Structure 1
Amino acid sequence: AKIKRVKGPYGKVHRGFLKGLTLVWSEIREVIREWQIHGQSVWVTGHSLGGALATLAVAAFGEEAKPIHGLYTFGQPRVGGKTFARNFDLEYQARTFRFVNNNDVVTRVPPRNLGYRHVGTVLMFDHAGILQTDLHFWNHFLDRVVGRIEDLGKPGTDGIKDHNMA
């Protein structure tokens, strides 16, 4: 089944994520604008769906030329297509940090083969819980395999347990 993308800030984005942001956007925008009027720095964060919504909120503020100082997400799904990711990263890549916990399955949906892409700089906790910044494909792949092997015979699956970030 195709996961529908619709026009959003900076390009096409996941319809459900944009709908979720739209439900709370007026209240969020009002609070953040008030903070900005008083000179406060705004940093945005979220986990899982909250990370997707945080990313869309930052993009929406970017289109309104409102400064956001940084974005930190944990276990975030992909939010939009190539155009969205490119446009978002042009403005925010140096201030966007996306944390992934080893085999967290949520970070791999919606799938790339449906045109979805991640944004920002990825930082990954490996199978031992050590934060890695050098994420060459082969090293990342091998670490995921080690995480799965170490998890064999334990209750639950590695991909779901890793989403808890614990």
Structure 2
Amino acid sequence: MTTIADQAFEGRGIRFINNNDIVPHVPLPGPRLRYWHTERLIYIDAEGKLSPDLPLWKRLRNSFQGATRDLDKLGQEAFRDHAMNSYVHRIREAIKSGR
């Protein structure tokens, strides 16, 4: 399904989600707020691997794995994963390693 966002950007938009970053999930898409996410998604998993179009169930499983690794820092991973330098670092590392 092509979203309004995809039509507006003519296929140029790509959405990145870094593991447990909560911000890319808000606001909830739909007609009430007239907001839609782009369809193209690249998910950055807990190990830093970039995965295009990863199914939701795999993203949830990986998110749980990332969160359980940092149980002693409960709640902090969402903030750490939201940091722009975390996105940039993981994308650069993936480009260098060819992932």
TM-score (norm. length: structure 2) = 0.67
Structure 2 runs not aligned, ≥5 long: 87-99
* 1:133 has 2:58 as partner: no
**Shift of the alpha carbon at 1:92?**
2.5
Equivalent residue for 2:24?
107
TM-align CA RMSD = 2.4
Asked if the contact 1:101/1:126 (under 8 Å) is kept, the reply is yes
* 1:154 has 2:79 as partner: no
Q: How far apart, CA to CA, are the structure 2 residues paired with 1:156 and 1:104?
A: 11
- Evaluate the alpha carbon distance shift between residue 91 and residue 110 of structure 1 in structure 2; reply closer, same or farther with a 3 A threshold: closer
- Runs of 4+ aligned residues of structure 1 deviating over 6 Å after TM superposition are none
**Shift of the alpha carbon at 1:155?**
6.6
Structure 1 runs not aligned, ≥5 long: 1-84
- Written as runs of structure 1 = structure 2, the 5 A alignment for 1:1-166 is 86-112=3-29, 115=33, 116-154=35-73, 157-165=76-84, 166=86
Aligned residue pair count: 82
Q: Which fold has the larger relative contact order, with Cα–Cα distance below 8 Å and residues 6 or more apart in sequence?
A: 2
Give SS of 2:65's match: helix
TM-score (norm. length: structure 1) = 0.43
113-122 vs 134-143, which moves further: 113-122
Q: How far apart, CA to CA, are the structure 2 residues paired with 1:155 and 1:91?
A: 38
- Evaluate the alpha carbon distance shift between residue 135 and residue 111 of structure 1 in structure 2; reply closer, same or farther with a 3 A threshold: same
**CA distances 1:106-144 after superposition (whole Å, capped 9, x unpaired):** 112123476542124110110111111141111111011
**Greater percentage in strand:** 1
Asked if the contact 2:3/2:37 (under 8 Å) is kept, the reply is no
- Evaluate the alpha carbon distance shift between residue 93 and residue 135 of structure 1 in structure 2; reply closer, same or farther with a 3 A threshold: farther
Asked if the contact 1:98/1:121 (under 8 Å) is kept, the reply is yes
**CA distances 1:54-85 after superposition (whole Å, capped 9, x unpaired):** xxxxxxxxxxxxxxxxxxxxxxxxxxxxxxx8
Give SS of 1:127's match: coil
